[in-house]
Amino acid sequence: MMDCSEEIQSVCEEPGAQIELKKGMSIFIDILRRADKNDDGKLSFDEFKAYFSDGVLTADELKELFHTIDTHNTDNVDTDELCEYFSQHLSEYENVLGALEDLNMAILKAMDKTKKDYQESTHLEQFVTRFLLKETTNQLHSLQSSLECAMETTAEQTRQEKQGPLKPEVLSIQWSGRRSNRRLQRNSSLSPNNPLLSLVNSGVYDEDSQWMIQVNRLQKLIDRLEQREIRLEPVEEEVLESKSHILIVQRQLCVLEEELEEFRLALRQYMECSCAQTGCLHIAVQRLANESRFILYEFWEHNNVWKNHLQTNYSKTFQRANVDFLETPESLTTMLVPASWWVLNNN
């Protein structure tokens, strides 16, 4: 989350400011700051395209959107224009952005107090502080996962409506062949209250298309890579423990054409290190035909193993490198699969 309180005040105090920012609109100050690569205080079309491109809108549609937002007809977009355009389309997200602004300030205030008081606290008080930090992180991560799933689902639905499914091109990359054959334990399962379920019930999420298609493609891909027969079980209904799941992580990476070779080197190093990590079951990568978009599939024993993996040096190095390699921010989706499906035939 961003700390925009000082920027909000400075913008509002500037004599040339066109718009008094409403609550929740400070996010657009942060958006412009991150998208403005040459720090001139406005977005050219190239900067706008690099930041707002989502892999669904075409270049012509992005240009149309750019000129719609550019009400001053300057061939640039500034904060006032961003706020003016998006404020007309926020709907319920106006409350969401306002709540995020309040949450940002509340967390910063809590962090400041923790920094001042923690060392002087008793051991029990320090435990309570650590516990509250952990639970706050868990709640935020749960919300983030639900939002990412909703974002991926809506984008995929629009993509299919526009052009139909794409056939991926398998990228040839070698890595360690170590695999685990144990039945695995998952520490948590999808809650009935998860907001993603509302997408399922509303029909936005088509369970017979996206996820099942991805599972089938993964099955065939792994079969080719391992040269083993893989089957999904059980054929008949089976009662499973609620924690018997493995985690599949899908990462979509849109790479800049001029950075492809450097990205491939970084990707190879990342995959080799990941495959040697305890708890990593399998990693596969694909590149979509005629695009510089890569899809990385990671299989992990359970969520905690994956979280520990994210804190490793090689994972952080790969993330930092992607800042320069990627055309748009990485899209990440996670999915739980019954551990009993992970049945390998060693013959």
What does the pLDDT look like over 176-187, one tens digit per residue? 343 333 333 333
Cα torsion angle, 239, 244, 247, 248, sign? negative
- In tens, the pLDDT along 47-59 reads 898 888 877 888 8
Measure CA 150 to chain center.
11
Helices 5-13 and 27-35 pack at an angle, to 10 degrees, of 90
> Does residue 275 contact residue 284 with C-beta atoms inside 8 Å?
no
Looking at domain 245-341, its CATH class is alpha beta
Radius of gyration of the chain (CA): 23
Strands (E) in 144-232, as ranges, are 168-170, 230-231
pLDDT of residue 236: 57
The mean pLDDT of the chain is 75
Question: What fold characterizes domain 20-120?
Answer: Recoverin; domain 1 (1.10.238)
- Looking at per-residue pLDDT, the higher value among 252 and 225 belongs to 252
- Per CATH, 20-120 and 245-341 having the same topology is answered no
Report how far apart the first and last C-alpha atoms of the chain are (Å, whole number): 50
> Does residue 238 contact residue 340 with C-beta atoms inside 8 Å?
yes
Q: What are phi and psi for residue 126, nearest 5 degrees? A: -65, -40
Instruction: Say which residues have a Cβ less than 8 Å from residue 83's Cβ, sequence separation at least 6.
Output: 19, 21, 25, 28
Cα separation of 339 and 316, whole Å? 28
Instruction: Say which residues have a Cβ less than 8 Å from residue 53's Cβ, sequence separation at least 6.
Output: 62, 254, 327, 328
Instruction: Say which residues have a Cβ less than 8 Å from residue 74's Cβ, sequence separation at least 6.
Output: 42
- In tens, the pLDDT along 84-134 reads 898 888 888 888 888 888 888 898 899 898 888 988 989 899 899 999 988
- Looking at per-residue pLDDT, the higher value among 235 and 260 belongs to 260
Cα separation of 323 and 300, whole Å? 25
Place of tokens 């309570």: 128
Domain boundaries, the chain: 20-120, 245-341
Percent of residues in the chain assigned helix, strand, coil, to nearest 5? 50, 15, 35
